[in-house]
């Protein structure tokens, strides 16, 4: 058995429990990973609050993770036991909104090998865990919009988990001619340091007062019913929330793939793209409810990360034919 956070009914954060669940066995194309850090996303609490999600209970939340491979299925070819990896373990598919019962807020998880990538050497496990969902979501928005080098972009929510990556990607990868983002007063300088050319303090300035018009409005907070006014005529408006608050906005979700993370590995290892962890964290594995409470305020700067994951609850046993043996991390039945 292992320790995991799970819930058995829909509701507020207080339905979450820390308890014992079985350690899963990897299928032929899966990895068994000891989680060393995880990150929370709005989807994690929105699913918990929505009975229409039709989850299987007990349900372990969590998409983002970074950790070490302790065992693998017979068909796995990309990775070796002992490798440090990171990824988004929940494969969202539009045709079937079905999530893994065992999310990343568990000490040991299984995940398909094509959903993860080798952790960049210069990143901590906490930094790596903060990236997958945010970077996959940010990239998808630019892709859906057909964004081109030299165009301008207005990013609503530049200090959030997706916004911090969207600002950096717009500047470093997509080579935008003008990057403007919104932020509250205390976060203006922070967003500028991420690479924004201009930052609009939304507590002091309305969208109607913004002088420039943009080739893309990228709304990461779901305010497209208002933010659309800064778009040029016929310019795309991307809204990552569902449903978009503006019927003219295009919804953008994410494509889950380890290849996407691998593609941006040079940008991460060179420091051109930086992971942003909220300064109130990381939150300890034992304080997941507190972490969710903070995330749900909507005031986080970057990602809310969970770390460390205590290993003292793992069930150790002598190696046998039914166990997973690794000399560095022990044996797990």
Number of domains the chain contains = 2
Nearest partner of 106 among 50, 64, 48, judged by Cα: 64
For residues 117 and 180, state if they share a domain.
no
- Binned at pLDDT 50, 70 and 90, residue 106 comes out as very high
In a domain, 265, yes or no: no
In a domain, 10, yes or no: yes
In a domain, 219, yes or no: yes
For residues 6 and 103, state if they share a domain.
yes
For residues 103 and 32, state if they share a domain.
yes
In a domain, 324, yes or no: yes
Q: Average pLDDT over the chain, rounded to whole?
A: 91
pLDDT value, residue 327: 38
For residues 119 and 151, state if they share a domain.
no
In a domain, 268, yes or no: no
Q: DSSP letter at 238? A: E
- Choosing from 251, 266, 299, the residue where a domain stops is 251
In a domain, 269, yes or no: no
For residues 40 and 145, state if they share a domain.
no
For residues 7 and 112, state if they share a domain.
yes
pLDDT by residue (tens digit) across 224-240?
Answer: 999 999 999 999 999 99
For residues 101 and 215, state if they share a domain.
no
For residues 19 and 47, state if they share a domain.
yes
- Choosing from 235, 251, 267, the residue where a domain stops is 251
pLDDT value, residue 93: 60
Average pLDDT rounded to a whole number, residues 266-291: 95
Q: What is the CA radius of gyration of the chain?
A: 20
Question: How far apart are alpha carbons 111 and 105 in whole angstroms?
Answer: 13
CB 302 within 8 A of CB 159: yes
The pTM is what?
Answer: 0.90
> For the ranges 22-26, 28-32, 248-252, which has the lowest average pLDDT?
248-252
**For a pLDDT cut of 90, what percent of the chain falls above it?**
84
Within 10 Å of residue 298's Cβ, how many Cβ atoms? Answer: 10
Q: DSSP letter at 183? A: E
For residues 161 and 229, state if they share a domain.
yes
CB 7 within 8 A of CB 21: no
pLDDT value, residue 309: 85
Question: How far apart are alpha carbons 3 and 207 in whole angstroms?
Answer: 47
Tokens for 225, please give them: 């019913």
Tokens for 199, please give them: 């930052």
Q: The domain containing residue 285 runs over which residues?
A: 2-131+275-332
In a domain, 327, yes or no: yes
For residues 18 and 38, state if they share a domain.
yes
pLDDT by residue (tens digit) across 301-329?
Answer: 999 999 998 665 454 433 433 344 443 44
CATH number of the domain where residue 152 is located: 3.40.50.720
Question: How far apart are alpha carbons 166 and 143 in whole angstroms?
Answer: 12
Average pLDDT rounded to a whole number, residues 243-259: 91
CATH number of the domain where residue 110 is located: 3.90.180.10
In a domain, 260, yes or no: no
- Indicate whether 103 pLDDT > 80: yes
Average pLDDT rounded to a whole number, residues 288-292: 98
For residues 164 and 101, state if they share a domain.
no
Nearest partner of 313 among 102, 15, 4, judged by Cα: 4
- Choosing from 251, 266, 295, the residue where a domain stops is 251
For residues 138 and 152, state if they share a domain.
yes
pLDDT by residue (tens digit) across 167-216?
Answer: 999 999 999 999 999 999 999 999 999 999 999 999 999 999 999 999 99
């Amino acid at each position: 058995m292992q320790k995991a956070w799970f819930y058995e009914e829909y509701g507020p954060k207080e339905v979450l429990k820390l308890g014992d669940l079985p350690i899963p066995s990897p299928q032929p194309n899966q990895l068994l990973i000891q989680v060393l850090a995880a990150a929370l996303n709005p989807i994690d609490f929105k699913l918990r609050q929505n009975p229409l999600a039709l989850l299987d209970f007990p349900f372990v939340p969590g998409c983002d993770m970074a950790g070490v491979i302790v065992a693998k299925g017979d068909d796995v070819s990309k990775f070796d036991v002992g490798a440090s990896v990171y990824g988004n373990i929940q494969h969202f598919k539009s045709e079937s909104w079905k999530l893994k019962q065992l999310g990343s807020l568990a000490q040991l998880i299984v995940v398909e090998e094509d959903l993860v990538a080798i952790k960049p050497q210069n990143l901590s496990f906490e930094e790596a865990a903060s990236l997958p969902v945010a970077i996959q979501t940010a990239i998808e928005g630019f892709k859906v919009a057909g964004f081109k080098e030299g165009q301008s972009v207005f990013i609503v929510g530049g200090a959030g988990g997706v916004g911090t990556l969207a600002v950096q990607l717009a500047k470093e990868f997509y080579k935008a001619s003008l990057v403007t983002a919104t932020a509250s007063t205390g976060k203006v300088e922070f967003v500028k340091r991420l690479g924004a050319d201009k930052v609009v303090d939304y507590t002091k300035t309305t969208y109607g007062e913004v002088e420039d018009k943009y080739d893309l409005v990228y709304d990461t907070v779901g305010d497209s019913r208002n933010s659309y006014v800064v778009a040029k005529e016929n310019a795309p408006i991307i809204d990552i929330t569902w449903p978009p608050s503006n019927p003219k906005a295009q919804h953008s979700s994410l494509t889950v793939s380890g290849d996407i993370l691998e593609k941006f590995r040079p940008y991460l290892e060179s420091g051109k793209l930086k992971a942003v962890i909220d300064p109130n964290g990381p939150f300890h594995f034992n304080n997941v409810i507190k972490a969710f409470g903070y995330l749900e305020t909507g005031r986080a700067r970057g990602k809310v990360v969970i770390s460390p994951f205590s290993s003292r609850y793992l069930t150790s046993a002598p190696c046998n034919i039914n166990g997973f043996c690794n000399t560095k991390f022990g044996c797990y039945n």
